[in-house]
Amino acid sequence: MSGGGCSIRAIWILTPNDTVAFSRRFAVVEKRWRAAWEAEEGDGEGDRRGTGAAPLLFPADHEVAAAFAERRRREGTARGSGIRTNVSSVGLDSWVDDPITRHIISLRLDKEEGDGFMLWPVVLQKRGGYYVLVLPLVDPQPFRAYENLLKRSDCGSSAKENGNLSSILFNLPCITGAFMVAHVVGDIITGDIAEPEVIISSGPSVGGLLDSLTGSIGISARAKPIASPVAAPTASLSSPVGAAQSDSLKGGVRPFDKDLLRNFIIGAMPFGTAQDLNYANVTSIRTTGFSGDPLPTDQKQPAWKPYLYKGRQRIIFTSLETINAALYDRDDVPDFLSVSGQVTCRAELEGLPDVSLPLTGLKTAHVEVSSFHHCVQASEPTANKQTLVFQPPLGNFVLMHYQAPCNIAPPVKGFYQLSMVSENEGAFLFKLTLMEGYKSPFIMDFCMITMPFPRRRVASYDGNPSIGTVSMTEHSIEWRIVSSGRGLSGRSIEATFPGTVKFLPRTVQRINSSFRSVSSTGYTEDSDSEQDNAKNGASLDDYIMEKINKDLQAVDLEEPLSWQAYNYAKVSFKITGGTLSGLTIDPKSVNVYPSVKAPAEYSMQASSGDYILWNTLGKCPTAALPREL
């Protein structure tokens, strides 16, 4: 019996070449799995042969690797297609027709003798080129329920039917737990283990838990680089430009520190049941241990705060906002702007004090959703106010996340037009306004526009911007309007950039069929149906785009859209000194109990996420805005 918690039977990390880079088995959990199946067998249902006995076997690493490779072959990609296509067949995850089957997969093990068996639910994460597979313990019933879904011969189930995937997942918190395990394992193998950033307005930036720790226990910490600035000038994490869209990336994975991972697992889940997935805490305890400092006398010290702070006391808050924008400059399509923000905190407070932080202006900022760190007890939000009470952990942590509209004019607005004057030459025009309506202390640290042409090779460009500098790469043109170090503050500027871009002639590149996602199979373009578009009255732009799009590859379901099908310019910037949502914290209103003299500092920063100027003259993706029913 799984018992409803989250116990893990095994973890595998596979390389893109289908070898096992790391594996960990939890014999204690495996025994419970066997016991659950044997108990069910004992219930006297004789017709369970074939599926009943087989899952009790446990696969060797090489068998898992082979099964994973085989799955990739059957499903088209390692993660599968996630939706049922005309090549899906009974027994494949894609037959279930749900995007979550890219993350919760089944593996079919074919034993040489006798029946094969299935591993499910295997939680899959692709990180740093590796595939992290985590197999949690589930009871036989949900396992069978999923098996039934794989075998259903009908056209695909709906949420109204019994035994649908949603209800299976609802009853399996262990899958959610396995996701979190896979996530932190992924963080470790990619080295993505920095704590969230807090920024102080004066002095050097502050480090993470270890810095606090070393300060208090008096040992020298390893030299740890301060978390990198949120938005590097080049491209953000979610940059569509040149984003790897395929699973078929071969090789090129960075080796990771297996000892580090092994050590973490012993601390986080020694017997397969996860109890702490905080990397910093677990590794600190494993590596540093504890000194004999006294424990609090009156209350339990939280498990997520293994160490107490000692030293000069202060509390720092930082608002970090990311703005996503789709700017169309069209009458028929409204612009879309959305801010996702987080408040990070670093509380250098001795003992186990409670901190209360009133949030005001929630309604004015139209904060749509917010969620809090698990140490927070939030009051019910009233009209415009919500008070957070929390016992802060050590080190940097994300106090809250929120989503809000952009409650101020877009920092960069205007339009981008690109028109193809011939197949290999385009004329473009930017007309932008930066920081209109932004008063001091808002500062735009930098601003750069990128025109990506991932499927064309830029031969040359011509034209001079009214401000800033231009450079080109093989597949893009970059226009730096505001450079780092020369921040734009207290005024708005207009920037125009008319010009032309010339491309090298397109070489018809037949894309390797394995490169295309599985959903392309079966829809080969019929040369018969080719039509003479030029005669169709379509514009030259449309004609060229359509021609180019003939060998467009299908994107992964993780992408929001087929970026390469569009012409657009991506804006990157960073703004400090304020928030775009308007949601701010008043550091004076922060209360600490028991009362101590601890100054509260607060800083704000906003940066661009997917901030896109769609070509006003071309096709653009859009989405309907919700309306009231």
Q: What is the footprint of another protein within residues 70-89 (CB under 8 A)?
A: 81-86
Torsion of CA 469, 470, 473, 478, to 10 degrees: 90
Q: Say what the alpha-carbon torsion angle 101, 104, 106, 107 is, to the nearest 10 degrees.
A: 120
**Closer to another protein at the Cβ: 220 or 524?**
524
CA distance 151 to 586: 58
534 binds another protein (CB under 8 A): no
Asked if 383 is part of the footprint of another protein (rule: CB under 8 A), the reply reads: no
- Kindly tell me which of 47 and 528 has the beta carbon lying closer to another protein: 528
What sign for the dihedral angle of Cα 321, 326, 330, 333?
negative
569 and 612 Cβ atoms separated by less than 8 Å: yes
- Counting contacts by CB under 8 A, is residue 133 touching another protein? no
Q: Which is nearer to another protein, 86 or 228 (CB)?
A: 86
Which of residues 308 and 459 has its CB atom nearest to another protein in the complex?
308
Q: Give dist(CA 256, CA 59) in Å, integer.
A: 24
How far is residue 164's CA from residue 154's CA, in Å, rounded to a whole number? 13
Report the residue number, 362 or 482, with the smaller CB distance to another protein.
Answer: 362
Query: Does residue 342 belong to the site contacting another protein (CB under 8 A)?
Result: yes
Give the footprint of another protein on residues 240-269 (CB under 8 A): 259, 262, 266, 268-269
Least distance between another protein and beta carbon 327 (Å): 11
Q: CB nearer to another protein: give 94 or 465.
A: 94
Q: With binding defined as CB under 8 A, does residue 293 bind another protein?
A: yes
- 557 close to 517: Cβ distance less than 8 angstroms: no
Is residue 217 a contact residue for another protein (CB under 8 A)?
A: no
**Residue 102 vs 456, nearer CB to another protein:** 102
Binding residue (CB under 8 A) for another protein from 219, 244, 249, 303? 303
Identify which range of 111-119, 292-300, 442-450, 579-587 contacts another protein by CB under 8 A.
Answer: 292-300
Q: Distance between CA atoms of 424 and 544, rounded to whole angstroms?
A: 9
What are the structure tokens assigned to 536, written together? 């169709």
Cα 120 to Cα 92: distance, rounded to the nearest angstrom:
12
Interface with another protein (CB under 8 A), residue from 523, 534, 593, 594:
523
CA distance 175 to 127: 18
| Single residue of 276, 329, 436, 586 touching another protein by CB under 8 A | 276
Report 586-615 residues binding another protein (CB under 8 A).
609-610
- Report how far residue 415's alpha carbon sits from residue 430's, in angstroms, rounded to the nearest whole number: 6
Under the binding rule (CB under 8 A), the answer on residue 310 touching another protein is no
- Stretch touching another protein by CB under 8 A, among 18-26, 211-219, 458-466, 506-514: 18-26
* Least CB distance to another protein at residue 142 (A): 12
Q: How far apart are CA 35 and CA 148, in angstroms?
A: 22
Q: Is 110 in the site for another protein (CB under 8 A)?
A: no
CB of 286 to another protein, least distance (A): 8
Tell me which stretch binds another protein (CB under 8 A): 187-195, 430-438, 504-512, 551-559.
551-559
Using CA atoms, how far residue 625 sits from 20, 322, 325, 336, 557, in Å, is: 46, 20, 14, 9, 22
DSSP secondary structure, 114-174, as one string: S--EEEEEEEEEEETTEEEEEEE---HHHHHHHHHHHH--SS---TTSTT-HHHHHHT-HH
Strands 600-614 and 314-327: parallel
Q: Please, what is the minimum distance in Å from the beta carbon of residue 581 to another protein? A: 13
622 binds another protein (CB under 8 A): yes
Q: Does 179 bind another protein (CB under 8 A)?
A: yes
